[in-house]
Chains A and B, each alone.
Chain A
Amino acid sequence: MTLEALLFMVFIFAVCLGGFAYSLYLSSKNK
């Protein structure tokens, strides 16, 4: 696996997982 692909994978997962986790976090605070 190339370094470029590895970094891109980390970026895409960070966007999706980070966005999901942050939205859930804000939802739980917004009660």
Chain B
Amino acid sequence: MRKRELFASRWGIIFAGLGMAVGTGNIWRFPRIVAQQGGGAFLIPWILFLFLWSIPLLIIEISMGKKTRSGVIASFGKIIGKNYAWMGTFVTFVTTAIMFYYAVVTGWCLKYFLATCFQDLIKKDSLEFWNSFTSSWEPVLFHFAALGIGAFIIYKGVVKGIERANKILIPSLFILLIIACVRSLTLPSAFQGLNFLFSPNLARLADYEVWLNALSQSAWSTGAGWGLILTYAVYSHKKENPVLTSTSLGFGNNLASLLAAVAVIPTVFSYFSTQDFSHQKVLEVMQADNQGLTFIWIPNLFSKIPAGSFFLALFFLALSFAAFSSLISMMELDTRILMDAGFSRKKAIALICMCAFLLGLPSAISMGFFTNQDWVWGLGLMVSGFFFTIAVIKYGPKKFRQNIISTPDSKVRLKKWFDILVTFLLPLQFLVMLGWWLWKSYSGNPDNWFNITSPNSVGTVLFQWVIALGLFILLNKIIAKKMLSNKNDS
């Protein structure tokens, strides 16, 4: 039997974890959400939920992975019993479904980086370029390329592949973001953008939408509840402290988001100040959807600044680095699960690549399908986070804190507040988020809110969730037996 590979150093899991957390959501979603939610005031609840939701869930995940030394499904089975392994199967499926279309997004980033370098993207009409790209066969080719590069990295193993790649990607990403910030802040009228981003209009805090968007942004951007950091923790050292690793990831992720916002928002303000457009127009641009802002507006914005082509290439390179470092964590999650089931790393990767390519094809070809999957499984992460909370509540929060989180030599230990947070605050946050989403969906579209054929309805989400959950509960005995009986320790 081969001995399980561990990260070469303590920094290995921190770099890999940062790679997992810092993704395209930090660079293209965060600046847009801050602008939508009125700028500075949003940052207060966003920081608060880092402590109330994201960091506790990261601590739970790291502790489970480190204790069980197994992937997500077997971890749930080992912690709360094999009858509940279906919760881990659901968490795995949600992240896997996201991986299918995330590989497509990674391909887009790669294409745009290459197009900036070799096709003079900056001189083209960005809307026309986007439309002709998405209606061609190229997204399929770049989807394949993204999976191929990801597979190559994880095939090299934990130390030579994942750890080494993230030790290059993450410092490079931070350097690129800092350069982009310096460029953005040296543009004319950039300080108007900075003023908007950091003016704490406290009256906005009375708006519940600001709080709920802050919670969802924090949860999804840090990767809390995805099962990804649990997978990396399987390869952590015995002395690894889950609390310190989680706070490093949480704060590091938020820092990357802030840098991205400083790079994007002042650039948008600077562009429109030269066009004599109103403040309202700036907000309209920032509120365009994810693809709209990144792939249509960003090339436009950079075309108007000195050395724009160079900085646009830099922006898409940073975006590609962020996307790849997250994609490999998603591919590793499935690799670990298949290795738990007895597959070799090589066979597991081949199977995952084949499935991800085929099941990602509909998203590469159809934007409608892409939007639907992003909506259904993006929201599914809320349920994934809740399942981790249930696991700790069922195990016993105090017992979990004393036996699983704390190690005999750890200098930083959690106190009783952790038990209260897990027992009351985490479930409360989940219920409020779920209730808010249902209410908003119903009140915004009372006639069509439950239509399962509509791509953005409550009906389509619940329909796909129920099918997945039903299937995993039905097959639980078989899946749990396979995951928990294998002795593969590699």
Contacts and interface: CB of A to CB of B under 8 A. Distances in A.
Contacts of A2: 195, 199
Interface string B375-412: 00000000000000000000000000000000000111
A9 B194 CA distance: 9
A4 B199 contact: yes
Interface in B229-257: 239, 241, 244-245, 247-248, 250-252, 254-255
10 contacts: A5-B40, A5-B195, A8-B199, A12-B47, A16-B254, A17-B251, A17-B255, A20-B252, A24-B14, A31-B239
- A: contact size bracket: 20 to 34
Is the contact region of chain B dominated by helix, strand, or loop, or is it mixed? helix
Contact of B194 (A5, A17, A28): A5
Interface of A: 1-2, 4-6, 8-9, 12-13, 15-17, 19-20, 23-24, 26-31
Interface string B67-80: 00000000000000
Contacts of A16: 47, 251, 254-255, 258
Nearest to B9: A31
B241 A27 contact: yes
Contact of A8 (B10, B40, B252): B40
Contact of B248 (A6, A9, A17, A23): A23
B458 interface: no
Contacts of B410: 30
Nearest to B410: A30
B198 A8 contact: yes
B191 interface: yes
A5 B262 CA distance: 13
A18 B251 CA distance: 8
A18 B156 CA distance: 35
Contacts of B348: none
B43 interface: yes
Given A2-B199, A23-B248, A26-B411, 11 more contacts: A1-B198, A4-B199, A4-B200, A8-B40, A13-B255, A19-B247, A20-B251, A24-B14, A27-B244, A27-B248, A30-B239
A4 B160 CA distance: 47
B14 to A, nearest CB: 7
Contacts of B198: 1, 5-6, 8-9, 12
Interface string B1-33: 000000000100010000000000000000000
Contacts of A9: 194, 197-198
The 4 closest A-B pairs by CB, nearest first: A19-B251, A20-B251, A9-B198, A23-B248
Given A6-B198, A20-B252, A30-B241, A13 B247 contact: no
A11 to B, nearest CB: 9
B411 A30 contact: yes
Contacts of A30: 239, 241, 244, 410-412
A31 to B, nearest CB: 6
A23 B200 contact: no
Contacts of B197: 5, 9
Contacts of A24: 14, 248
Contacts of B244: 23, 26-27, 30
A4 B195 CA distance: 9
B191 A1 contact: yes
B245 A27 contact: yes
A19 to B, nearest CB: 4
A20 B248 contact: yes
Given A2-B199, A9-B198, A20-B251, A27 B10 contact: yes
B122 to A, nearest CB: 29
Given A12-B47, A16-B258, A19-B247, A5 B241 contact: no
Nearest to A9: B198
A13 to B, nearest CB: 7
A2 B39 CA distance: 14
Given A27-B244, A30-B244, A8 B200 contact: yes
B182 to A, nearest CB: 15
Contacts of A28: 10
A23 B200 CA distance: 27
A31 B43 contact: no
Given A20-B248, A20-B251, A15 B200 contact: no
A13 B47 CA distance: 11
A28 B412 CA distance: 13
